[in-house]
Chain A
Amino acid sequence: MVLPSLLVYLFVFGFPTILAVVLSLSNYAGGTMFGGAPWQITGFQQYQRLFTDPYFWNALKNNIFIVLISVFGQLPLGFIFAYLIYRRIVKFGEFWQGVLYVPAMISTIVVGILWSIIFSPYGPLADIANHSYANAYSAKLAGIFQATGGLANIDALTERIIQASASTITKVFTDPAVELKQFLLSYNLGDSSTVQNDLVNLLAPRWNADFLSKNNIAMIPICFVTLWMWTGTYLLIFLANMQKIDRQIIEAAQIDGASEMKILRHVVLPSLSKVIANSAILCISGSLSGFALILAMTGGGPARITQVLSIYMYDKAFMGAPDYPLANAIAVMIVLFSLVLVGLTFAFERRFGGKE
């Protein structure tokens, strides 16, 4: 009865794991694997290559970053929300729960593309920011026109406009004092509203929201979206388990005068420690293999800076000339890395977790 499952399991997990270890120690370069062109075990040189590749360390760093954000972002947030609902500190628990879980139902590809549009320089974030910049600037201009008497007093107007647009004016005019005056002179006296509009278009500060193309901040949107997507899941898990706690214990604690913090610390947290540890494991293995989100958001770019281990591996195996031994070495590293983290989580729970 176990046999069919076992065969499928070995096909999908067992054999590939062995294959990954074997090939990571070999010089297999594609082609027929069994009984074809010969390939042989060549030792640990792939790992040596891996450890000297700066892109590997970069991918590992990003991965650790995402794991940390997931474990110390999704779990606490989910827990806080669950607690607020559980203790009826906020009403309409069902509603919040229902809404916050929605992102987990949507395909990661859809989520990734959607947020990459939102964070793009032509996206709504930049649009909103630039609208507000433009509005502020146009208010400033209106004030200047009022104070100086508008186009009738060109010299004063020019001077004040140059003052007010210090950050952008040199990008538009090389010699603002002369050129801006010329520009203003080209309008008729009655055109002051047209002139103001044109000036806003020309000189209002613009925010180039290139989150996903700037090296040092491209990981921020990715981490944000990770939080956005999965916090609701942990909210669900924690809430369901809180609801299993015997209400009488909490009521008894309240009668004894225990504060909300004390109830949280001494009743709710200890009885959830196992669930928290399990969620952490779920979270770690999920964020380590997280692949589709980054592929859809940045594709690992710009210049491979947002690569995580799985994207790095994908790149090595399927983009350009395939480097299967190295890609397999990465797969082995991912598996080892996740086993280490899971082990740590277990140890942590055993040491600090509540007794049952």
Chain B
Amino acid sequence: MELYGAERPGIKHYKPGTVVGKTVAYLVMGLFAFMTVFPLVWMLISSFKTTTEFRTNMMGLPIDWTFDNYRNAWKIGEFDKLIGNSILYTAGSIIGITFLSLLTGFAFAKIKSKATKPIYGGFIIGILLTTQSLMVPLFLEVTSLDRSLGDLLRSAGLVGPSEFRLFHNTRFGVLLIYIGSALPTGIYMCTEYIRGIPNAIIEAAQIDGAGYFKIFRSIILGMTKPIAMTLSILNIPSIWNEFALINILVSETSLKSLPLGIYKFSGGLSSDYGKQFAALVIGMLPMLLFYGAFRKQITAGVSMGALKE
């Protein structure tokens, strides 16, 4: 009976100071959470007001709820095209990044070669660089290559006189550069993960006469589902929201992605608040839904992705 009164280790003992401390902690947390949520809710509510109403009734609920903002913003931003492009870019890049990272990670982790160390090191340096800081040389690279290749093929009579496009203003170019940007981190994560797979499994397969590609297909792909999942979940929001690169890689509306369409609402349309808010909500919603659906996995993925050595 005495045992119930005994203090178990690990249970905190409350001192007078802790109450004050806790209150402060809750206040700070609460303030931060409020500052996070409030602007977003305010934006959502404002998107249902007409611009005239927004000017006079900035903080309250709308008196007349209107959906016109969405209808107009959707039309002006041509979001029906952009969303398709965004889905394509995101899905294509994710498949490319995951496949190439796993393949290369497998080679680095399990195939012994003298070249592994320097090449792997080269990829690791890429983690520290960002493609955004290289956007000018990247732009010059893709445009010059297109021009030179076009000249070359034209003189060989292989293409017509129209502008030749391979890298600039093409979906292929965007995908290529998105995949490349995410490869260093992806390869790093996959290499570390595949190193954890016991060598014995691979050696057993080799004894059975399987080549590296067969081992990759039949063993590695199956065992790396968790890391493939993490990699995809980390990259989906960053590619969906990417702006700086696609801004210079693509100039035709039919190829643009969602963030580019929303950026249109920051300049000349900026005094038309109603449409602006609607466009912002359209831009925010897909990733919020994604977050809602995969919050657990995203949380786990983010903390894993930061474990770079």
Residues of A bordering B, CB below 8 Å: 1-2, 4-6, 8-9, 11-17, 19-20, 23, 32-36, 77, 81, 84, 89-90, 96-110, 112-118, 122-124, 127-128, 228, 231-233, 236-237, 239-241, 247, 251, 254-255, 274-275, 278-279, 281-282, 285-286, 288-289, 291-292, 295-296, 309-310, 313-314, 317-318, 324, 327-328, 330-331, 334-335, 338-339, 342
Residues of B bordering A, CB below 8 Å: 9-10, 12, 21-22, 25-26, 29, 32-33, 35-37, 39-40, 42-43, 55, 58-59, 100-101, 103-104, 106-108, 111, 119, 122-123, 126, 128-141, 144, 147-148, 151, 176-177, 179-181, 183-184, 187, 212-213, 216, 237, 240-241, 243-244, 248, 258-259, 262-263, 265-266, 273, 276, 280, 283-284, 287-288, 290-291, 295, 298-300, 302-304, 306-309
Selected from A100, A104, A255, the residue in CB contact (under 8 A) with B9 is A255
A255-B9, A282-B306 provided; 19 other pairs, C-beta below 8 A? A1-B103, A2-B108, A6-B119, A9-B126, A11-B180, A36-B148, A81-B32, A101-B299, A102-B36, A106-B40, A110-B283, A113-B263, A124-B42, A232-B36, A240-B300, A254-B9, A281-B128, A314-B136, A334-B133
Chain B's closest residue to A102 (CB) is B36
Question: A107–B284 contact, CB under 8 A?
Answer: yes
Question: B104–A1 contact, CB under 8 A?
Answer: yes
CA distance A313 to B138 in the complex (A): 13
Q: How far is the CB of A69 from chain B (nearest CB, A)?
A: 16
Selected from A13, A115, A295, A309, the residue in CB contact (under 8 A) with B131 is A13
Question: B25–A84 contact, CB under 8 A?
Answer: yes
Q: How far is the CB of B194 from chain A (nearest CB, A)?
A: 12
Question: B103–A5 contact, CB under 8 A?
Answer: yes
Give every chain B residue within 8 A of A36 (Cβ-Cβ): 147-148
Chain B's closest residue to A342 (CB) is B128
* A-B residue pair count with CB separations less than 8 angstroms: 271
Give every chain A residue within 8 A of B135 (Cβ-Cβ): 310, 313-314, 331
Question: A89–B136 contact, CB under 8 A?
Answer: no
Given the contacts A228-B36, A291-B244, A127 and B59 also touching, CB distance less than 8 Å:
yes
Selected from B111, B136, B291, the residue in CB contact (under 8 A) with A327 is B136
Given the contacts A105-B287, A278-B306, A338-B128, A236 and B9 also touching, CB distance less than 8 Å:
no
Question: B266–A296 contact, CB under 8 A?
Answer: yes
